[in-house]
A = this chain, B = another copy of it.
């Protein structure tokens, strides 16, 4: 079975000036990955004839499919056609139907068609035309040496329908892309990226198909299993097998698949057990509440939160004893415990959770920036209070604190 290598070239100085991110490359890559085409390179290059030509030349030496976005518009900066012509010597011809379409478009919007718009109707004589369902400039598919060049506009809302409705079906039909890639993400919490990788190293070392790749984001890690196969059934079997092997090693830290978040998972566990929750927040300042309220349907489970940010409000609004604040301080086990209890009591919730600590930039009550206390209260007989140290800046500390709270709740609820 033949495999194909692809490369994506973004043309446009706006990419190199950092005015926009190259999200076209991401979109095309994501689509190609699903068809089993290997993407080996992305390039971005400015509106410069020589450099665009050089990029095309290099791509033709190493890639079966070269996806080019941008540089097809009407302005003088748009050089994709000229650069490809300079490289290949191919002929450009004006396409009547496209000229008509463009002038209709201007009529409809009551504007005069500027002369430079004719440029958009210039098509390579041996090209397959890709209709533009959204804008005026069409795309083109042209063969050069051993490579197929696919030219599309740089505007994402024009490029995406071309890719989905024309280019992918075209490639599937003409190149028999049978080699499908499927992936599944396993999400873990309560284990570090390096520990996770050490624990599953034996599997990563022997991997071939499927591959297993670790991914990390704030306080959470995931493993992505990616299988190549001739059909979905075989791909699923390969993934299933790898998943079972992984779970034998690190199963206790696994909490969900793909789009699942720890926020969803905790909310669903609470609902499943008919439990309600309320929070008392100091340094997190509403972020924990937001983590649950952002999920549709949180209303029956999440009761509310008291953000007692300013010190005195911890007693006046939340009801922590002034004695505790005086003797132990607000960044303490004792204060965290009382906050969690008060959240549960005030909101009449089964569980109260609290967050207090030092988010910085300065120390507070003699405690270092990054010192955090979290407490969970579910009646006097079931209480947990723990302290943590999170390095980093203010927002990092606050986000890690919320994530840690969700992690503690998760283990609390599955116990």
List residues of chain A with CB under 8 Å of any chain B CB: 10, 13-23, 25-33, 39-46, 48, 51, 55, 74-77, 105, 108-109, 111-117, 134, 157, 192-195, 197-198, 204, 213-215, 276, 278, 281, 283-290, 292-294, 296, 298-300, 302-311, 313, 316-317, 346-348, 360-361, 388-396, 398
- Going nearest first, the 10 A-B pairs with the smallest beta carbon separation are A285-B293, A286-B286, A18-B30, A18-B29, A286-B289, A42-B44, A114-B194, A305-B307, A21-B26, A16-B39
Q: Which residues of B contact A276 (CB under 8 A)?
A: 310
Task: Check B46 against A33 for contact (C-beta < 8 Å).
Answer: no
Copies per complex of this chain: 2
Question: CB distance B44 to A316 under 8 Å?
Answer: no
Closest to A111 in B: B192
Report A32 CB to chain B, min CB distance, Å: 8
A36–chain B nearest beta-carbon distance, Å:
12
Pull 25 A–B residue pairs with CB atoms less than 8 Å apart, ordered by A. A14-B215, A15-B29, A15-B42, A16-B29, A18-B32, A18-B33, A21-B23, A41-B44, A76-B204, A108-B389, A109-B389, A114-B192, A114-B195, A114-B197, A134-B393, A285-B286, A293-B307, A298-B309, A299-B309, A303-B313, A304-B310, A304-B317, A305-B307, A305-B309, A306-B307
Q: Which residues of B contact A289 (CB under 8 A)?
A: 281, 285-286, 289, 307, 309
Could you tell me if A41 and B51 are in contact, using CB atoms closer than 8 angstroms?
A: yes
A393 to B22, CA, bound (A): 24
Give which listed residue, B19, B21, B51, B198, contacts A40 with CB less than 8 A. B51
Residue of B nearest to A303 (CB): B310
Chain B nearest CB, measured from A348 CB (Å): 7
The answer to whether A317 and B296 touch (CB under 8 A), given A13-B213, A307-B306, is no
Residues on the B chain within 8 Å of A31, using CB: 18
Given A20-B26, A40-B45, A285-B292, also A306-B306 (CB < 8 A): yes
For A296, give the chain B residue with the smallest CB separation.
B361
Closest CB in chain B relative to A267 CB, distance in Å: 12
Given contacts A26-B18, A41-B45, A42-B15, contact A294 B395 (CB under 8 A): yes
Partner of A287, one of B77, B290, B300: B290
Known interface pairs A77-B214, A114-B198; 5 further A-B residue pairs with C-beta atoms within 8 A, sorted by A's residue number? A10-B42, A43-B43, A117-B194, A285-B286, A286-B286
Pair A21/B21 contact, Cβ less than 8 Å? yes
Q: How far is the CA of A192 from the CA of B27 in the complex (A)?
A: 28
Give the CA-CA distance A400 to B293 in the complex, in Å: 15
Chain B hits for A309, CB < 8 A: 289, 293, 298-299, 302-305
Determine the distance from Cα of A48 to Cα of B25 in the docked complex, in whole angstroms.
19
Q: How far apart sit A189 and B285, CA to CA, in the bound complex (Å)? A: 25
Q: Is A25 within 8 A of B40, CB to CB?
A: no
Give Cα A195 to B115, complex, Å. Answer: 9
**Complex alpha-carbon distance, A309 and B28, angstroms:** 36
